[in-house]
Amino acid sequence: MKLHEKLYQLRKQKSLTQAEVAEILDVSRQSVSNWESGTIEPSMKRLKMLSQLYEVSLDYLVREEEEPNTDEIEQRDFLSQSQGEEPVDKIEGGANGVHNLHSGFYGRSVKVGVDAVKPKRMVCFVLLAVVIVLCVGAVMGLIWWSNQPSRQFYYWEEELSMEPEFTGISLTITSATRNKDGSGSLAYTLENSSKEVKYWGPNKPWIDYADDDGWHTVYPKEEVETFEVKQANSLDANVSKNFVEAFPANVLKLPGEYRFCVDGAGSVRFVVLDNGTIVVSDS
């Protein structure tokens, strides 16, 4: 069998087109066509590349043999691997390192495009890393945002709370209770120790929570303004009154510092500990 016949037959066995062989060897398709028609013969360099691509020995190509000598091929592969050379199923093609991936006739894979694929893989890895960092950052940001005090309370006044007015009435918290859901109650006393009538109100008592930027009201929810005129409450001279303020869930939800405010009587601070216990300030 002539060289050009072997080249044609081997290419068909590999299920390769002339264009694919030309790309692997970095030659024109016309050159491959000329080789297989017998018009011209490939150079020794191309013959070596063809022997590797088709997995036959160089001797088989140049000698007029009918079938490739498989013993020679296996021996050549073993010697190449022993000397640290790449086996024949890893074909580098052309001056530009053009590669392709194709399954061989004998069940092997002809690996091409390694040099071209590596940068693409690197880009994919970089993009994947960027996506992972962005996703982790978004999740962490969402967790941070959801854990902010403004997201924890049922009601949160964005504007800072004002200091309650003080008219001379003293405010004392006598007892405090807190349930697991943040609800509870405060028992307090208003006392007028002066010799004249004092006034407190007219706003309802409220509770503030101490955030990093100041006090924010968390109870009660702001009421809709009306044209109704609110009247202050009076407290006679040398008189004290006891009250209980009950509040719903989530008012004392977080550990931290709070203050109970009454217009005309000032405020009293208290702390909710991590275990839910309330400690009232002495001042």
Domains of the chain in start order, with CATH, are 3-88 (1.10.260.40), 170-280 (2.60.40.2360)
Encoded tokens for 205: 């008592």
pLDDT per position as a tens digit, 185-242? 999 999 999 999 999 988 889 999 999 889 999 998 655 444 555 667 889 999 999 9
How many Cβ atoms are within 10 Å of 103's Cβ, its own excluded?
Answer: 11
Radius of gyration from C-alpha coordinates of the chain: 44
Contact call for residues 210 and 256 (beta carbons, < 8 A): yes
What stretches of the chain adopt beta strand conformation (E)?
102-103, 109-110, 170-178, 184-192, 198-200, 206-211, 214-219, 233-235, 239-247, 256-262, 266-272, 278-280
pLDDT by residue for the chain (283 residues), tens only, comes to 888 888 999 999 999 999 999 999 999 999 999 999 988 989 999 999 999 999 998 888 888 755 555 555 455 554 445 545 444 444 444 434 434 434 333 334 444 444 545 677 888 888 889 999 999 888 887 777 777 777 788 899 889 998 898 889 999 999 999 999 999 999 999 999 999 999 998 888 999 999 988 999 999 865 544 455 566 788 999 999 999 999 999 999 899 999 999 999 999 999 999 999 999 987 5
How many Cβ atoms are within 10 Å of 197's Cβ, its own excluded?
Answer: 11
Q: Burial code of 258-268, b = ≥16 C-beta within 10 A, e = fewer?
A: bbbbbbbbbbb
Distance CA 236, CA 193 (A): 9
Encoded tokens for 66: 């009918």
Full DSSP string of 84-99: TPPPTTS--BTTTTB-
* DSSP-based three-state secondary structure for 233: strand
